[in-house]
Amino acid sequence: MRIATTKTKVVSILVCLGLIILLSACSMFRDPKNPPAALVEFKPTIEVKTVWTYSGGSAGDFVFTPVYVGNSVYAASTNGKVVRIDNATGHEVWRIDTDQTLTAGVGADGSTIAVVADKGILMAYDLDGKLKWQMQTSSEILSAPAIGDGLVVVRSIDNHIAAYDEETGQRKWVIERTLPTLILRSAIGLVISDHNVYVGLPGGKLIAVALASGSVRWEAVVGEPKGATELERVADVSGFPVIFGGDVCASAYQGKVSCFDVKTGVTRWGKSLSTDMGVSVDERFVFAVDEKGTVNAFSRSAGLSEWKNDKLAYRKLSTPISFGQAVLVGDYKGYIHFLSREDGTLAARVSTDGDAIVSTPIIAGPNVVFQTKQGEIVALAID
């Protein structure tokens, strides 16, 4: 994990914590005091099938999350390539070269895909890979754009949230939020639902913004800065907010896992847990991985602890995802671990290309899709 030091609204220094101070959440570095847990042998109780694999480009220093729309998986890499993959076969439908250094994954809806490049360039393409428009935003963008209600919405690292017309690229509105002194250099996501965009922010806030006007409907606290030093007060929202039914749930570094009423922002429940990854939500549970690598399951209704699994401690786990009868997480060696949804016991394990999985996995119809740092994209199904 990396940190940014800010002055007023301008990001002035972007460095890894390992260059200035030690922080246990610096997730891409080995901690000699807390070595990764060795993989234990177990009898698989779930049969997993690899549906397809695709070799894409490296993520470099960025996080690339794929997206699923209309029976296709869209993915990107830092070398500027964007690819459309048939979800049934894994065959490449098309590949384009943006001639840019990309810095985040793909946003998509039924007619547009969007990607971002260094220095904050935002590009929109149609589903055949033809460029619609290109715009310059206020600063670098580390998380995939969100598309909905005719708008492409992005949050840049200077904490500006901006919406652009999906067809023309005209900017419709912008929100400027003050940055804390120290922030994690991470891909805090945003999600669109029911004419609102839900945005996680540095400093631990989650906001709901009306897409039509850019007005903030409500603001909630996921992580509250505490402590005597600026480092101790880092409490950024992590990963993507997740909407399920009437809830929107999110997590924060040195903060909480919390669920809120999606319409009002009123807190349903919150549990102390520090993570630099996001959450997964299903009908019964909210899943989160803490900074020690323990996978936690909370009841969605009340936030009660249902189970924990610490067998993957310090393996630098990805955001978990609920998929059928299992909860899946990737690790720093490219293994994908299947845990029983009901009690958290290890149920299956699949290897990929051996490189870290740090992006959020996605559900793609009958498949679940992971993308590694080296660029292997793998679709799995449970038989």
pLDDT of residue 30: 53
Q: Using pLDDT thresholds of 50, 70 and 90, give the confidence band for residue 45.
A: very high
Mean pLDDT to the nearest integer, 109-132: 96
Residue 15 has pLDDT above 50, yes or no: no
User: pTM to 2 decimals?
Assistant: 0.90
What is the pLDDT confidence band of residue 18, given thresholds at 50, 70 and 90?
very low
* Predicted pLDDT of residue 183: 73
Express each pLDDT in 134-178 by its tens digit: 999 999 999 999 999 999 999 999 999 999 999 999 999 999 998
Q: What is residue 182's predicted lDDT score, i.e. its pLDDT? A: 74
Place of tokens 């939500």: 281
> Which numeric CATH code is attached to 36-57+280-383?
2.130.10.10
| pLDDT, position 226 | 83
pLDDT at 51: 98
Check whether 69 has a pLDDT greater than 80.
yes
Which of 19-23, 103-107, 170-174, 255-259 has the least mean pLDDT? 19-23
**What pLDDT shows up at residue 16?**
36
Q: Which two tokens stand for residue 363?
A: 């559900």
Across 14-18, 251-255, 268-272, least confident range: 14-18
What was the pLDDT predicted at 235?
82
**Mean local confidence (pLDDT), 93-115:** 97
7: pLDDT confidence band, cut at 50, 70 and 90? very low
Give pLDDT, residue 245: 93
pLDDT number for residue 47:
97
What per-residue confidence (pLDDT) applies to 8? Answer: 33
Q: Give the pLDDT confidence of 303-347 residue by residue, as tens digits.
A: 999 999 999 999 999 999 999 999 999 999 999 999 999 999 999
Which residues touch 41 (CB under 8 Å, ≥6 apart)? none
199-216 pLDDT tens trace:
999 999 999 999 999 999
Q: What is the pLDDT of residues 341-381, one digit of tens each?
A: 999 999 999 999 999 999 999 999 999 999 999 999 999 99
Going from N- to C-terminal start, the domains of the chain cover 36-57+280-383
